[in-house]
Amino acid sequence: MFDIQKIRNDFPILSREVYGKPLVYLDNAATTQKPLCVLDAMREEYLNVNANVHRGVHYLSQQATDLHEAAREKVRCFVNASKAEEIVFTRGTTEAINLVASSFCHSQMRPGDEILVTDMEHHSNIVPWQLQAERLGLVVRHLPITDEGRLCDVKTIESFVNERTKIISMVHVSNVLGAVNPIGDVIALAHKHGIPVLVDAAQSAPHMRLDVQALDCDFMAFSGHKMYGPTGIGVLYGKEEWLEKLPPYQGGGEMIDKVSWEGTTFERLPFKFEAGTPDFVATHGLATAIDYLDSLGLEKIEEYESSLTRYCMKQLQTLDGIAVYGPSEQRDAVISFNMGEIHHLDVGTLLDRLGIAVRTGHHCAQPLMERLGVSGTVRASFALYNTKDEVDALVAALRRIQQMF
């Protein structure tokens, strides 16, 4: 097991106080804190290697380009893609999904064709498809979940598949329920019917080993800021054959081969999908965050966070009137709950006054809230720097809040 105190020293923000109380940061599913090595790497590049990439023959531009493309190779290794050309840098998971939704729907679908998502999707994996469906006359269908908060079984999924189904886009880990979906089984089923699959890995990338070749997914999207990297940078993995088929999502500099009044031809992969100046400093920060995760070991991180989640689930059961949503087993480092008749916003506000940062509300998953029959929940989400003492502080604070009502 890794040294938790040594790890916490890498994140100075964890030592600050809020309202005179030690900060307990349990909103990691929204964004993680950043280790000093990531901040130092980005500061170093701005100070010494700040030049636009791919465009200049001068030394700084070449050096910045080398760092940027080294980051792409780092991401390739992180998800085990077969080629660096299959890694497209985006602004985050949201833009990555929008890219696929726009390019795929316009080039591969006809009016009446169907897109399959699930009842547990984040809005980022619902709204982009709805926008395209409205524009192009497509249909968005949603796979149901069980009362326990798991995705329906493969047989039920297959009953939704028909000749009009053109793509399945689904979350790997629910940002509300913590449920880890059997995406390997879904991908195998989809491919049996010749249907590509996009995996939203925003909530799984920080917590577990990803292998796009083993999964055989066609697309995968995730964000840097949820895995200890900077905001404003994300990744779209796409199989080369699919990225070659799809048209560009945006137009501008960087993504062109030749522009004339007669027409434009586009750059090779992955640059066809990377219009404009990329955030080359953020890509370096993301690569540094990946190095940090690798230095600790994703398997050890997953084991530690799983034990922390189980501990929290057990401690919450000592409180009366707590409703916890999602499966009791096979869940990631997210726990959503409500406390009887106490409104989730009130719980979150009172926890904040006790120094504990959680998320409240619908968590950008309103269809899921409707399925659960609630307006929102309190969500505690864990990272590699959280501790059992912090879980104890959360539970003690919740017990104190119960006594107030």
Using CB atoms within 10 Å of the CB of residue 134, give its burial: 0 to 12 exposed, 13 to 18 middle, 19+ buried. exposed
Reference 53, options 278, 274, 273; nearest CA is 278
Rounded to whole angstroms, what are the CA distances from 54 to 68, 87, 96, 234, 277?
Answer: 9, 16, 22, 19, 9
pTM: 0.96
Strand-pairing partners, residue 69, are none
Identity of the residue numbered 134: E
Q: Read off the pLDDT of residues 290-301 as tens digits, 9 standing for 90 and up.
A: 999 999 999 999
| Cβ-defined contacts of 37-41 (< 8 Å, 24+) | 37/10, 37/288, 37/291, 37/292, 38/228, 38/229, 38/230, 38/285, 38/288, 38/289, 38/292, 39/285, 41/284, 41/285, 41/288
H-helix or E-strand containing 347?
helix 344-353
pLDDT at 336 over 90: yes
What is the pLDDT averaged over residues 89-96?
98
Place 267 in a pLDDT band, splitting at 50, 70 and 90: confident
**What does the angle CA 52 – CA 81 – CA 178 come to, to the nearest 5 degrees?**
100
**pLDDT-based confidence at residue 1 (cuts at 50, 70, 90):** low
Condensed to tens digits (0 to 9), the pLDDT of residues 185-200 reads: 999 999 999 999 999 9
Grouping H, G, I as helix, E, B as strand and the rest as coil, residue 259 is strand
DSSP bridge partners of 88: 236
Report the Cα 194 to chain-centroid distance in Å.
26
User: Active-site positions?
Assistant: 364
CB half-sphere exposure, 274, CA atoms < 13 A: 28
Q: What is the largest distance, in Å, between two alpha-carbon atoms of the chain? A: 73
- The span from the CA of 101 to the CA of 118, in Å, is 16
**pLDDT tens digits, one per residue of 139-188:** 999 999 999 999 999 999 999 999 999 999 999 999 999 999 999 999 99
Q: Given this model, what pLDDT does residue 253 score?
A: 86
How far is the C-alpha of 223 from the C-alpha of 202, rounded, in Å? 6
Residues near 140 by beta carbon (within 8 Å), at least 6 away in sequence: 114, 115, 117, 126, 129, 130, 133
